[in-house]
Amino acid sequence: MKVETRDKLYEGKAKIVYATSRPGTVVQYFKDDATAFNALKRGTIVGKGVVNNRMSAAMFERLERARIPTHYLGTLSDREMLCRRLEIIKIETIVRNIVAGSLAKRTGLEEGTPIRQPIVELYYKSDPLGDPMLNDDHVRMLSLATPAELAWMKRTALRINAVLRPHMRTRGLLLVDFKLEFGRAGKKLYLGDEISPDTCRLWDRQTREKLDKDRFRRDLGGVEEAYQEVYRRLVEGTHA
Ligand code: UDP
């Protein structure tokens, strides 16, 4: 694929987005930088950018095969992905299958408690506000998305869960929860951003060992090794 990278449009905590020579597209460049707790904790996870880029590509390809529209257009290199340019909707959509993280804190339920019917939560994508939780009425009040868009996002988030959860299970991983971002291009909505151990909680199916960014957030050690293990299972497909 011949695409030239042009001006930097945006630099976030883990990625840089560049304009390209092809109209309507951007390049996502995946860095090794890691942050947690609204950037209060910072560090580097060696090789993370490659894992996140390659895993996201593999998951987007799988979703496209299930007719879920994503911004993914192709892989340019180990750290660069060509994507459709989206107007990102300022909502983080979270799907949960097992209690963990903020849900454990908010409900008092023990981490690891199974959730019978997967749940969807919405958060306001706002660094100054620290990503507060929203409901549909808040989304309408803030004009973040139309009711039709929001309904589509929630339905699509559950469809994505229904594709990824069983797939990961066959590779020995429990998909505990994950974060999605959607955006508009023309009249259509697409899944954007990334699907990686930065944005998913992934536990080993047998041992329940954490194989995701919680190793970094909670200083559990073995962070790089966990990302490499996820790469082996979900990108190379080597899992007995
Ligand atoms: N998550 C994310 N970005 C955020 C917040 C959450 O990717 O800004 C992901 C997180 O990795 C986990 C899921 O969303 O897979 C649910 O996170 P939770 O609400 O439990 O928040 P946390 O415990 O990470 O603060």
**pLDDT score recorded for residue 60:** 98
Atom 8 (ligand 1): residue with closest C-alpha? 131
Residues 141-198 pLDDT 10s? 999 999 999 999 999 999 999 999 999 999 999 999 999 999 999 999 999 999 999 9
Q: In this model, does residue 217 exceed pLDDT 80?
A: yes
Atom 23 (ligand 1): residue with closest C-alpha? 101
Task: Give mean pLDDT, residues 41-46.
Answer: 98
Q: In this model, does residue 1 exceed pLDDT 80?
A: no
pTM of the model: 0.97
98, 115 Cβ separation under 8 angstroms = yes
**What's the 92 CA to ligand 1 centre distance in angstroms?**
9
**pLDDT score recorded for residue 240:** 59
In this structure, the residues whose C-beta lies within 6 A of any atom of ligand 1 are 92, 94, 100-103, 131, 177-179, 199-201, 213
For ligand 1, what atom is nearest to the CA of residue 179?
14
Q: How confident is the model at residue 2 (pLDDT cuts 50, 70, 90)?
A: confident
Q: Which domains does the chain have, with CATH numbers?
A: 5-84 (3.30.200.20), 87-220 (3.30.470.20)
CA distance 63 to 78: 20
**What's the 33 CA to ligand 1 centre distance in angstroms?**
17
Residues 47-100 pLDDT 10s? 999 999 999 999 999 999 999 999 999 999 999 999 999 999 999 999 999 999
**Percent helix / strand / coil, the chain, rounded to 5:** 30, 35, 35
Task: Give mean pLDDT, residues 217-240.
Answer: 94
Atom 11 (ligand 1): residue with closest C-alpha? 199
CA distance 211 to 204: 7
CA distance 188 to 53: 24
| Selected residue with higher pLDDT from 194 and 238 | 194
Which residues have CB under 8 Å from 134's CB, separation 6+? 91, 122, 123, 124, 142, 144
